[in-house]
Amino acid sequence: WRFSFDRKTGDLYIGDVGQNAFEEVNFTPRRSPGLENYGWRVYEGRSRFTNEQPTSGRLVFPIVVQPNGPNCSVIGGFVYRGAAVPGARGRYFFGDNCEPQIRTVAAPGGKKVRGEPVKISSLSSFGEDAKGELYATSLDGVVYRLVS
């Protein structure tokens, strides 16, 4: 549910809402030749969804797969490039509309996900300012800023 480019590397991160079983984050490096096929209608996450064969492009599996249950709609964010939270620099931030957690994964294309419980009800989007600081919004109209 949104995509962004890492302002430092140009890499692409895509928060991809699944069908019924999984939410995912896809990654494409800036130097990619293109024509990635992220698997939908044949795969959901890394699981086979139909017996069809991928039709075109290079099949690329997600770097993050989150099962539905507490999760319902992944909200893609940004790679943090700000100065206010040095320990978060270089991590991709994302969340879910139904689960009150902000998650991060090492950029580029890391595999190990960290989650921090937050008091954000119905996360709806992330934003990034000119200095690389991150913000989150919720469906109840509140804007939050990432701080240490």
pLDDT tens per residue, the chain (148 residues)? 799 999 999 999 999 998 889 999 999 999 999 899 998 889 999 999 889 888 888 899 999 998 888 888 999 999 999 999 999 999 999 999 998 888 999 877 666 788 777 878 899 999 999 999 999 999 999 999 999 8
For the chain, what is the HEC assignment? Answer: CEEEECCCCCCEEEEECCCCCEEEEEEECCCCCCCEECCCCCEECCEECCCCCCCCCEECCCCEEEEECCECCEEEEEECCCCCCHHHCCEEEEEECCCCEEEEEECCCCCCEEEEECCCCCEEEEEECCCCCEEEEECCCCEEECCC
Domain span at residue 30? Answer: 2-145
Predicted TM-score (pTM) of this structure: 0.90
Q: How many domains does the chain have?
A: 1
Specify the CATH number for the domain of residue 110. Answer: 2.120.10.30
